Amino acid sequence: MIFTLGECHKNCLLASRVYAQKIPERNDPKPTLCQELYGNDFENRSEFCTCELDKVAENEKCFENVLFSDECTFHNNGLVSRHNFHYYSDTNTLAYTVIKNQNRWSVNVWRGILGQYLIGLCFLKDI
């Protein structure tokens, strides 16, 4: 995917489409919802962490070719965004009336780390 992103001149939407055409058998990553933790989860995770720490102790550069990435969504229709409302009151300054809501919007932001390099800050709209 990284090479495809370079071929597409850092255009994330185009890179996603080109990558899907090049390797159609690869599925887009989907989130895995975890409903609950089971009794042996702690031991499994501890064993995994110990194994990876042993790999790092043997070779400090073992994670240089691992792409760590994350994606988040920002939107303006939550309780935190107070810029969506206009407040007016002639008599009671503590009272308010919602006059107008802004249009709803959201944007997905993706970023990755590969070795010592940051990849992207890709803004993905309408996906």
In a domain, 74, yes or no: yes
Q: What is the DSSP string of the chain?
A: -HHHHHHTTT-HHHHHHHHHHH-TTSPPP---------TTHHHHHHHHHHHHHHHHHH-TTTTTTPEEEEEEEEES-SSS-GGG-----SS-TT------PPPP-EEEEEEEEETTEEEEEEEE---
In a domain, 39, yes or no: no
In a domain, 55, yes or no: no
Taking only the tens place, the pLDDT of each residue in 21-73 is 887 777 655 556 666 777 888 899 999 999 999 999 999 888 888 889 988 88
In a domain, 76, yes or no: yes
Q: Pick the residue with more confidence: 18 or 59?
A: 59
In a domain, 53, yes or no: no
Number of domains in the chain: 1
What predicted TM-score, i.e. pTM, was given to this entire model? 0.44
Can you give the pLDDT at residue 113? Answer: 92
In a domain, 118, yes or no: yes
Q: Tell me which residue range forms the domain holding 106.
A: 62-124
